[in-house]
Amino acid sequence: MEFTDGLVLLRPLEPADVPAIAAACVDSEIARFTTEVPQPYSEAHARAYVAHAEREWAAGQQRPLAIANARSRAFLGAIEVRLSDPGSIGYWVAPGVRGQGVATRALVLLSRWAVTEGHVERLELTTHPENVASQRVAEKAGFVREGVLRSHIRFREGRRDSVLFSLLLSDI
Ligand SMILES: CC(C)(COP(=O)(O)OP(=O)(O)OC[C@H]1O[C@@H](n2cnc3c(N)ncnc32)[C@H](O)[C@@H]1OP(=O)(O)O)[C@@H](O)C(=O)NCCC(=O)NCCS
């Protein structure tokens, strides 16, 4: 499955993406703000992630995709939605291509699909309270900020709060 708005393309992850995934995932912001990217990160993690993504598409509720340049198909980041009730969505963008609207475009594409064709009635997005860039992305993509979940998840340094956003079909 592929989605595009003409500038950003969401496409399946490919074995050819492994070096770009491994290079991006050593970034300290990804380590600090994402809960599912292992640290330290190696090419073996990237290979396992691509293989896992293929299986998820075949079997599960999870829909992981590469965020790519629509013209060149070059890898820019990753985005993943869980088609559950409530659904959830998460993303990261490689450090060298941040600040150009890539995450926002990707989030708009996949979240709109999830609440329409994916039949997710409530789509949630949570961020670290200090992750201002991701909160900005959520707001730009039309998600509604609902509040702070106290001591929400156990993370590397201990439990942490999360800022909760949601998107309903009626928001778009
Ligand atoms: C969060 C992340 C995905 C954003 O990707 P991106 O492609 O740069 O996002 P966009 O360009 O669409 O938008 C970023 C917005 O945040 C703003 N921003 C970036 N850094 C910021 C900061 N430190 N303080 C305030 N705003 C900031 C940008 O100015 C932009 O907003 P604007 O369009 O109003 O100017 C990227 O920084 C990333 O991968 N971070 C590490 C992993 C992560 O945090 N994932 C999300 C977990 S919830």
133-156 pLDDT tens trace: 999 999 999 999 999 999 999 988
Q: Which CATH superfamily does the domain covering 3-171 fall into?
A: Gcn5-related N-acetyltransferase (GNAT) (3.40.630.30)
pLDDT at site 57: 83
The domains of the chain are located at 3-171
Owner of token pair 């790519």: 68
CA atoms of 11 and 75, how far apart (whole Å): 9
CA of 163 to the centre of ligand 1 (A): 15
User: Backbone phi, then psi, for 154, in 5-degree steps?
Assistant: -85, 125
pLDDT at site 60: 81
Q: Which ligand 1 atom sits nearest the alpha carbon of residue 133?
A: 16
Q: How many CB atoms lie within 10 A of CB 77?
A: 23
pLDDT tens digits for range 76-131: 999 999 999 999 999 999 999 999 999 999 999 999 999 999 999 999 999 999 99
**pTM for this entry:** 0.97
User: Average per-residue pLDDT in the chain?
Assistant: 96
- Report which of 100, 35, 110, 36 is spatially closest to residue 66, judged by C-alpha positions: 110
CA atoms of 139 and 1, how far apart (whole Å): 26
CA of 9 to the centre of ligand 1 (A): 18
User: Backbone phi, then psi, for 21, in 5-degree steps?
Assistant: -65, -45
Q: How many CB atoms lie within 10 A of CB 132?
A: 11
CA of 118 to the centre of ligand 1 (A): 26
Task: Ligand 1 pocket test: pick from 137, 160, 163 the residue with the most ligand atoms within 8 Å of its Cβ.
Answer: 137
Q: Is the CB of 88 under 6 A from ligand 1?
A: no
Q: Which ligand 1 atom sits nearest the alpha carbon of residue 100?
A: 11
pLDDT tens digits for range 14-70: 999 999 999 999 999 998 999 889 889 999 999 999 999 989 888 889 999 999 999
pLDDT at site 157: 76
The DSSP result for the chain, as a single string, is --EE-SSEEEE---GGGHHHHHHHTT-HHHHHH-SSS-SS--HHHHHHHHHHHHHHHHHSSEEEEEEEETTT--EEEEEEEE-SSSEEEEEEE-GGGTTSSHHHHHHHHHHHHHHTTT--SSEEEEE-TT-HHHHHHHHHTTPEEEEEEEEEEEETTEEEEEEEEEE-GGG-
pLDDT at site 39: 86
CA of 76 to the centre of ligand 1 (A): 14
